[in-house]
Structure 1
Amino acid sequence: MEISQNAALLVVDVQKGFDEAGFWGPRNNPGADDNIASLIDVWQASGRPVVFVRHDSSKPESPLRAGYEGNGFKEYVEERRGKGAGPELFVTKTVNSAFYGTPDLDAWLRAEGVSQVVVAGIQTNMCVETTARMGGNLGYEVVVAYDATYTFDLEGPFGWRRSAEEVAQASAVSLHGGGFARVVTTEEVVSAAK
């Protein structure tokens, strides 16, 4: 795998509100935050572009709602913002895709000459997957660092309930098998980026 010198890292919704287990329920991949931090460090050290995406939920009960403490980035992300040698963008959104945020992510990536994006963050099957799918639709080469994402148990139709791990795996299979993105490990991305 090759990671281009100007590949952008999209850090999606790594916000304090996702630590409120009482709201979200059980999660998978407890090592995700360490992997996200390592990706940011590698990107910033190499001067590659980093995009920090924040979800401003319009739902009044959401831990991600604007004005609530949970809306803010997790501390390790906030500490790293503005510290890189390369270009950086801050995007806010109210829907799943970072490409429907403000400012216009697609326009910024194209202005920076970016054709490859690496996606990490929360939740695997929601905003990470939607951003990855849309990136693929827009013609970017999309890489998802699977173990730098996590999600939560989910209930669907017909009383079907799936664990966070099952949901995350289904998302990865859909993205990778469907040709929207290449799903890999953080270690593979870091090795290729160095």
Structure 2
Amino acid sequence: MWRRRRGEVEEKREVGRITFSLIDAFRLGYDNVKRRFNRAALSMAAITLGIAFFSTLSLMDTFFRIYTQAEGGGLRMESYQYWLLLVSLVVCVVSITNSMLIAVYERYREIGTMKCLGALDQHVLKLFLVESIILALLGGSLGYGIGLVASIISVTFTLGFNIVLKTPPTSLLALLGETILLSVALSTVATMYPAYRAAKLDPVEALRYEV
């Protein structure tokens, strides 16, 4: 008898529990990105520019190493260029954070409605983080493409296109993977604070907010 009652209680808990899977988060996040593409484009542009600069320097360094192995010499990237890269990535993170904070303010009433309908803090947090990952994947891929084209053009005019042909495709694919991981990491770190702010919003106050 006790076990049966316990099972009934557990069943009621399961029925009343609100689920928000990762697939649901990606589906809703993708819809939000499409509906607010103008705002999302700002974050994606920041990611694209930062990753494009990173990809260009990394690819140039790869091409220089291939040239050194094939022709000899000591070509390498200058140290100040890596400092510029660091600054650009910091600016990228700050820009994403600012853009996501504005997005949170613009969606106060939407967040309040979600919470009134039963969304938990972790659901709101997951939604914003998933949106940032989607933007990171898009911006990172675009940034890598821009960096690849820019580095190939630069190397072609300075060292010749043969250096590009001598570069193993595995090196380019490995750099693509590193670029995507970096863009996701930067976007996630930059979105943590705005997502936390959104998750901790009081639904009553959020519904009163006028944009």
TM-score scaled by structure 1?
0.28
The structure having more radius of gyration, on CA atoms, is 2
Greater RCO (Cα-Cα under 8 Å, separation 6 or more)? 2
* Higher helix fraction (1 or 2): 2
TM-score of the superposed pair, with normalisation by structure 2: 0.26
